[in-house]
Chain A
């Protein structure tokens, strides 16, 4: 009981502190502290309730147990991370996004293709493509090649739609100006279309980071070598060692956030001129 009371009290104090901080003048520090405090208070609430209500660790382990398990099994987690993220997700992400990018540039030249591919691409992007995973695992075998193939298929269409939309983002006036300069197709592509498309392209790249990770992990449920994050999650769930599963989820969350954050950072550097980046 004391655990629950303590957790609730902690939560309330943190919330009051957060309300104070949020209503004070907004600056860089409070922008970081407020969400951080909220996250910490959530963890404390979780820990307190699990301990106070005596929830079995088989159902929901405490954050502290997960942290201990995380720190003691770093070698296994690292092997899984390399297998799933570096070999599966990253390679598929690079191949899929660059293929979509090149296709988009080719498609952009023809308005007929654009009118045909965009509705189809929009449709495919809404489909449960993850269902292709068993088929691709059958085609490419259990190792990372099949995972990478699933990722390629998953990221291709969202990336294609975003890039095509981006390439038509330039104004007619700007296009006319390029023509009065007598710019060739390639010159106007590199100096006008591509820079103007960058916000859209990065939007696609950011969406695809999560898709890539999901694709790589879920396709391991359909068969994998004896390492990998998806493999570990499904086998450890079977052995009911949920703290290991949560440690694996932590790795996935960290990797996903870092991947997304890196893309956002690169975006900030490249599209510094866009209104959404200035504020």
Chain B
């Protein structure tokens, strides 16, 4: 009973907020699509009642704002009913985006960790590189994405890699910042203790600094993977809407297929949420195995 109440204490408010959002969405659907419904009736020289108008706003082909159930239907149609290999399958497009995301995320994380190790161990690197790492993020890299893709295409590199590079640029920053903080998190007493054991620099890295940086690493990984998904999606825009969730967005906006845009958007949201959740689960297990309470 107590557990049940605790559950409602946490989930109840979230559900309420979600319900309110869906209600607002439906209201906005009626409001935004009504003018089109009235226009249609006017051209047909008929007048429609309010309830007719409402039912019309829910089933339009190219609505200004599709109703939630239309989006759900479209997602169901393009994921479950289509073969995965079909170019109309959202799973196929999602996989293309996901593979670029994961590759970029792996690059970015590796690069970020290496850079952080360099920064922690070399004072010169700390002073000269760190300010530029921070400045690099004030540059709107996503704006440069088209150029990176076109240039790499000209050199003969196309497909996964250019998108992964953009993902990498976005995801390395949180990892660097988090890992620098994490690798420096052991306090002076612990470092002194390692010294009394006459531990070498390498073994004190493996046995003290790296383990104590883990909570910081996971926090940054969660930010990093969300960022690399955004990078992969934007990286797909300038390739001319070939494949991937970003291409679906662009194709949808070219042809006014709002339902397609929204379903790609919702799929991207689900993908982002599951990626963050997966890292959260890995974090929980790793930290518990290491004996760090969460």
Contact = CB atoms under 8 A, between A and B. Distances in A.
B151 A38 contact: no
Contacts of A213: 140, 143
Nearest to A236: B147
Determine chain B's interface SS by DSSP, over half rule: helix
Contact of A113 (B13, B130, B234, B246): B13
Interface residues of B, number: 62
A185 interface: no
Contact of B258 (A23, A138, A217): A138
A130 B139 contact: no
A18 B132 contact: no
A116 B19 CA distance: 11
Interface string A247-274: 0010011001101100000000000000
Nearest to A129: B230
Given A35-B131, A39-B132, A257-B135, A131 B233 contact: yes
B127 A252 contact: no
A181 interface: no
A93 to B, nearest CB: 13
Nearest to B248: A131
A35 B125 CA distance: 9
Determine chain A's interface SS by DSSP, over half rule: helix
B276 interface: yes
Among B124, B128, B256, chain A packs the most CB atoms within 10 A around the CB of: B128
21 contacts: A26-B127, A35-B130, A120-B14, A123-B273, A126-B223, A127-B273, A130-B142, A130-B234, A131-B249, A131-B268, A134-B249, A135-B261, A135-B265, A209-B138, A230-B143, A237-B147, A237-B150, A249-B147, A256-B138, A256-B139, A259-B138
Interface of B: 9-10, 12-18, 21, 32, 64, 123-124, 126-132, 135, 137-144, 146-147, 150-151, 154-155, 222-223, 226, 229-230, 233-234, 237-238, 245-246, 249-250, 252-253, 256, 258, 261-262, 264-265, 268-269, 272-273, 276
Give 3 closest A-B pairs by Cβ, nearest first: A116-B13, A134-B253, A38-B128
